[in-house]
Amino acid sequence: MEPTLKKEIIMNFALSTNLEELKDSSIVLLTAAGTIIGKVANIKTDENGELTEVIPALINTVVKNFKEKSSIEGSLPGNDGYILLQNAKVLHNNGSTTNIAHLTVFFDHIIGVTIGSID
């Protein structure tokens, strides 16, 4: 996964919501499907560096297995990356809302980003 300005902006906005001054703010992502609001997932590891939460561990396992099946070493071709959100709310373009505990959003689907809240 190569660094891009888009990914840097999105991740820095997301991580800034962990600052004391912005603790009540969320990351707001604009996509073609609607607006997604949430907090960047707090990914925890144990003393051996193993992921302790189910969703990040699942993603890590899927990537590892895909690389093994495809005989890929290093970064995955065509992988623009993703951001993992927790307590996400998706405001669909049709007016409906979906609440999701953990949501993986792929960078290539993000049109815009800000921090704050939408009520």
Each residue of 19-57: pLDDT tens digit? 899 888 999 999 999 999 999 887 655 566 554 466 666
Distance CA 67, CA 20 (A): 39
CATH classification of the domain holding 32 = 2.30.30.100
Are 81 and 7 a contacting pair, CB within 8 Å? yes
| Number of structural domains in the chain | 1
pTM: 0.75
Residue type, 117: S
Domain interval for residue 27:
5-116
3-state helix, strand, coil in the chain (%, to 5): 30, 35, 35
